[in-house]
Amino acid sequence: MPGAVNEIVEPIDQAEWYEDASDEEEEKGYPVGEYEITTSPNDWNVSTLVNFIESGAVKIPGFQRNFVWDINRASKLIESVIIGLPIPQIFLYEESRNRFLVIDGQQRLMSIYYFVKQRFPRKEKRTELRRIFDENGKIPERIFHDDIYFTKFNLSLPEKLPEQPNKFKGLNYETLDEHKLSFDLRTIRNVIVKQVSPKDDDTAIYEIFNRLNSGGVNLKPHEIRMSLYHSDFYDMLHRVNMNEGWRKITGISEPDLHMKDLEFMLRGFAMLIANEKYGSSMARFLNTFSKEAKNYKLDTIEYLKRLFKSFLQSCQLLDPNAFQSSTKRFSITLYESVFVAVCAEPYAQRQLVSGEITPTSLAALKSDKEFQDAAESRTTSQRNVKTRLRRACDLIDVVN
Q: 270 and 389 share a domain?
A: yes
What are φ and ψ of residue 224, in 5° steps? -65, -45
User: Which residue did the predictor score with more confidence, 195 or 221?
Assistant: 195
- Most confident region among 187-196, 208-217, 302-311 by mean pLDDT: 302-311
Residue 214's pLDDT band (boundaries 50, 70, 90)? low
pLDDT, one tens digit per residue, over 80-91 is: 999 999 899 998
Domain of residue 169, residue span: 36-197
Tell me the C-alpha distance between 231 and 235, whole Å.
6
Q: 274 and 375 share a domain?
A: yes
Whether this prediction's pTM lies above 0.85 is answered by no
pLDDT tops 50 at residue 276: yes
Q: 183 and 302 share a domain?
A: no
pLDDT at 350: 97
DSSP string, 306-357: HHHHHHHHHTTTS-TTTTB-TTSSEEHHHHHHHHHHHHHHHHHTT----SEE
Q: 227 and 141 share a domain?
A: no
pLDDT at 177: 92
Residue 220's pLDDT band (boundaries 50, 70, 90)? low
- Indicate the Cα dihedral angle 13, 15, 19, 20, nearest 10°: 160
What are φ and ψ of residue 242, in 5° steps? -90, 0
Q: 22 and 70 share a domain?
A: no
The type of residue at 149 is Y
Q: Which of 168, 197, 226 is the last residue of a domain?
A: 197
Mean pLDDT, residues 369-382 taken together: 90
Tell me the C-alpha distance between 181 and 72, whole Å.
23
Residue 106's pLDDT band (boundaries 50, 70, 90)? confident
Q: 191 and 269 share a domain?
A: no
The type of residue at 348 is A
How do beta strands 187-197 and 90-96 pair? parallel
pLDDT tops 70 at residue 40: yes
Residue 229 and residue 294 in contact, taking contact as beta carbons nearer than 8 Å: yes
Percent of the chain past pLDDT 90, that is, above it, reads: 56
pLDDT at 3: 42
Secondary-structure percent of the chain, ordered helix, strand, coil, rounded to 5 = 50, 15, 35
The whole-angstrom distance between residue 4's C-alpha and the CA centroid of its chain comes to: 29
Tell me the C-alpha distance between 397 and 395, whole Å.
6
Q: 125 and 48 share a domain?
A: yes
Q: 369 and 250 share a domain?
A: yes
Mean pLDDT, residues 233-252 taken together: 93
pLDDT tops 90 at residue 65: no
pLDDT at 323: 95
Q: Is residue 213 part of a domain?
A: no
Q: Which of 197, 231, 250 is the last residue of a domain?
A: 197
Which of 10-14, 62-66, 146-150, 193-197 shows the lowest mean pLDDT across its residues? 10-14
How do beta strands 119-121 and 330-331 pair? unpaired
Mean pLDDT, residues 278-283 taken together: 83
pLDDT at 2: 42
How do beta strands 58-59 and 99-104 pair? parallel
pLDDT tops 80 at residue 163: no
Q: Is residue 225 part of a domain?
A: yes
Q: 225 and 373 share a domain?
A: yes
Which of 22-36, 119-133, 355-369, 382-396 shows the lowest mean pLDDT across its residues? 22-36
pLDDT at 207: 63
Q: CB-side exposure of 161: number of CA atoms within 13 Å?
A: 8
Residue 372's pLDDT band (boundaries 50, 70, 90)? very high
Q: 378 and 305 share a domain?
A: yes
Tell me the C-alpha distance between 283 and 266, whole Å.
12
Q: 26 and 40 share a domain?
A: no
Q: Is residue 342 part of a domain?
A: yes
Report the number of distinct structural domains present in the chain: 2
How far, in Å, are 61, 88, 108, 119 from residue 216 at the CA level? Answer: 19, 9, 12, 27
